[in-house]
Amino acid sequence: MKLGTLTGTGETATVTGFAIDHRKVAPGTVFGAFPGARLNGEDYIAAAVAGGAIAVVARPEAVVEGAVHIADPAPRRRFGQIAARFFAPFPDVAVAVTGTNGKTSTVEMVRQLWRMAGFSAASIGTLGVTTGDDRVTTGLTTPDVVTFLSNVAGLAREGVTHVAFEASSHGLDQYRSEGVAVKAAAFTNLSRDHLDYHGTMEAYLAAKLRLFTEVLSGDGTAVVWADDAHAADVVAAAKARGIGVLSVGSAGETLKLVSREPTLLGQTLTIAAEGKTHVVKLPLIGAYQAANALVSAGLVIACGGDIAATLANLARLQPVRGRLERAVIAKSGAPVYVDYAHTPDALDAAISALRPHVGGRLIVVFGAGGDRDQGKRVEMGRVAGAMADVVFVTDDNPRGEDAASIRAMVMAGVRHATEIGSRREAIGAAIAAAGKDDIVLIAGKGHEQGQIVGDLVLPFDDVSVAREMAV
Ligand SMILES: CC(=O)N[C@H]1[C@@H](OP(=O)(O)OP(=O)(O)OC[C@H]2O[C@@H](n3ccc(=O)[nH]c3=O)[C@H](O)[C@@H]2O)O[C@H](CO)[C@@H](O)[C@@H]1O[C@H](C)C(=O)N[C@@H](C)C(=O)N[C@H](CCC(=O)O)C(=O)O
Ligand SMILES: Nc1ncnc2c1ncn2[C@@H]1O[C@H](COP(=O)(O)OP(=O)(O)OP(=O)(O)O)[C@@H](O)[C@H]1O
Ligand SMILES: N[C@H](CCC[C@H](N)C(=O)O)C(=O)O
Ligand SMILES: [Mg+2]
């Protein structure tokens, strides 16, 4: 494709691809040079041109010699828009999900509901790019813009017509999912996370709101979990653009959750919609999974799905990997669950989900990630201390930080906890402590397959370790 076709200029050079890392530039590439969190991409412009870049999208003040300078004060956005024209076409229907917790679960449930409705569907997020028969990990929740656009276009080539993706706050802030028309966008909730990157809760919320103020199509629909304290901010942002709102939850108007009764293996939901009452036997436990199921139904309905059929399909949802996944039943009879709770609010949600199912004690094992928001650590300790009966504090991806210092910050929030650095040993100790009426919750890593220590990723899977320790 010609550069002029993509940029509206008269340039006749042929574009062969797009890159935001100069090491991935080949002859004919359009290079995006952006100031980042660690480095400044503008420092690599000369190297990119030497490598064959024919155009550089960068701020007006950047120096570009030997290639076309596509100057824009918001270069990430401009780069995404131009790249999208190159990578298109995309699947007919795309929806996005933002929120502190519940994005992965929701996009996965949307994918399942679309599949049940007969569509070829995919999801993109923390678990990777998932289709009916394949899953490929990308390493990030919202991949970088080039990976994102090429993946979405690749799905369309494979015949996928419906795609649901996670819009992380980092991804929104860095315009990683620019250029794909978003038909419906959902907000799950907002609570403390990622303050290392965003600085304040206000900035964190602002990044998430961009999904509704800029990314969502003008004729799209905002799907909002109405029970969250920040739902009103999202509704206001949507309404300011004249965008329709579909609200779900106890305070929801479109799908109103009238009641929720835990059962042995799931829960019974009574939902009022358009004057009718629907009773759904959801095969997943916990208020949080009910919330994600309703948000996912809202997204499907916002894209034209029939209300009754979509709600009925919730009864056939499969569990999401690493989200309240029952790993094993210990020799004592205690069930052991693995969950991806890595924020204070998520830990609360995971413990609350299990509480109705515990006759004895709820035993939790968890830690907090290194090189991430430090302030959430003590709060996670507080939640575990207040809500669980027995607490083990251990390591969860210390990355570049000293693991013992991270644990100390968590321990500061909880009075009676046992600290065991080795995650394997901590899981073993928790399972050994459990009696037949107890439940063990291993939180924080969910589906993850490694423990990140320094630059090393040591193979580690909570589910397999739990199984090993349960015999
Ligand atoms: C803080 C953050 O979001 N960093 C991401 C971001 O980096 P950045 O733009 O700040 O990059 P930088 O390293 O400062 O470099 C600036 C620019 O110079 C370029 N460069 C750099 C070096 C070089 O030799 N040549 C070159 O061209 C880089 O490609 C970049 O464009 O863009 C990079 C390319 O896409 C990402 O790999 C990187 O993710 C890092 C590894 C990361 O850990 N990100 C996490 C925090 C993240 O994004 N998490 C979210 C949320 C998770 C969730 O809660 O769901 C996610 O969506 O996964
Ligand atoms: N709707 C919700 N409300 C509160 N907590 C939730 C909700 N959904 C999920 N959680 C908690 O958050 C954890 C992570 O869920 P999920 O992976 O779906 O969220 P996410 O937003 O994709 O997370 P990440 O930001 O890491 O990608 C779950 O294991 C659970 O503990
Ligand atoms: N997407 C989240 C995942 C956190 C998972 C947890 N295991 C940790 O390492 O903190 C992040 O990058 O902050
Ligand atoms: Mg996720």
- Residue pLDDT, tens place only, 148-175: 999 999 999 999 999 999 999 999 999 9
User: Which of 342, 365, 399 to mutate for ligand 3's pocket (most ligand atoms within 8 Å of CB)?
Assistant: 342
Q: Where are the beta strands (DSSP E) in 341-389?
A: 362-366
Which numbered ligand comes closest to the C-alpha of 292?
2
Average pLDDT, the chain: 96
pLDDT band at 134 (very low <50, low <70, confident <90, very high): confident
Task: Say how many Å lie between the CA of residue 95 and the centre of ligand 4.
Answer: 15
Tokens of 140: 């990030």
**Residue 157 in marked binding region:** no
Task: Determine contact, residues 3/55, Cβ cutoff 8 Å.
Answer: yes
Task: Say how many Å lie between the CA of residue 153 and the centre of ligand 3.
Answer: 28
* Chain centre distance of CA 81: 23
**Residue 111 in marked binding region:** no
Task: Say how many Å lie between the CA of residue 1 and the centre of ligand 1.
Answer: 28
pLDDT digits (tens, 9 = 90+) for 301-344: 999 999 999 999 999 999 999 999 999 999 999 999 999 999 99
Is the peptide bond prior to 89 cis by the omega test (within 30 degrees of 0)? yes
Measure the CA–CA gap between 129 and 58, rounded to whole angstroms: 29
Task: Say how many Å lie between the CA of residue 102 and the centre of ligand 2.
Answer: 4
Within 6 A (CB) of ligand 3 lie 141, 342, 369, 372, 396-397, 444-445, 448
**Residue 418 in marked binding region:** no
Atom of ligand 1 nearest to the CA of 44: 27
pTM reported for the whole predicted model: 0.96
If we measure between CA atoms, which residue out of 352, 356, 363, 423 comes closest to residue 394? Answer: 423
Within 6 A (CB) of ligand 1 lie 20-23, 34, 36-39, 41, 44, 126, 140-142, 144, 168, 170-171, 197
Atom of ligand 1 nearest to the CA of 176: 35
Measure the CA–CA gap between 224 and 45, rounded to whole angstroms: 42
User: Which of 101, 112, 130, 326 to mutate for ligand 2's pocket (most ligand atoms within 8 Å of CB)?
Assistant: 101
Measure the CA–CA gap between 173 and 168, rounded to whole angstroms: 8
Measure the CA–CA gap between 180 and 213, rounded to whole angstroms: 15
**Residue 396 in marked binding region:** yes
pLDDT higher than threshold 90 for residue 141: no
Q: Is the CB of 423 under 6 A from ligand 2?
A: no
Residue 126 neighbours by CB under 8 Å, 6+ apart: 103, 104, 141, 166, 447
**Residue 179 in marked binding region:** no
Task: Say how many Å lie between the CA of residue 467 and the centre of ligand 1.
Answer: 35
Atom of ligand 1 nearest to the CA of 147: 35
Q: What 3-state DSSP class applies to 78?
A: helix
Which DSSP symbol is given to 399?
B
Measure the CA–CA gap between 349 and 87, rounded to whole angstroms: 39
Measure the CA–CA gap between 366 and 342, rounded to whole angstroms: 8
**Residue 38 in marked binding region:** no
pLDDT band at 198 (very low <50, low <70, confident <90, very high): confident
Task: Say how many Å lie between the CA of residue 379 and the centre of ligand 3.
Answer: 16
Q: How many CB atoms lie within 10 A of CB 16?
A: 14
**Residue 100 in marked binding region:** yes
pLDDT digits (tens, 9 = 90+) for 22-76: 999 999 999 999 999 999 999 999 999 999 999 999 999 999 999 999 999 999 9
Which numbered ligand comes closest to the C-alpha of 457?
3
Which numbered ligand comes closest to the C-alpha of 451?
3
Measure the CA–CA gap between 218 and 150, rounded to whole angstroms: 24
Measure the CA–CA gap between 189 and 294, rounded to whole angstroms: 13
The pLDDT of residue 51: 97
pLDDT digits (tens, 9 = 90+) for 422-433: 999 999 999 999
Q: Where are the alpha helices (DSSP H) in 398-460?
A: 403-411, 423-433
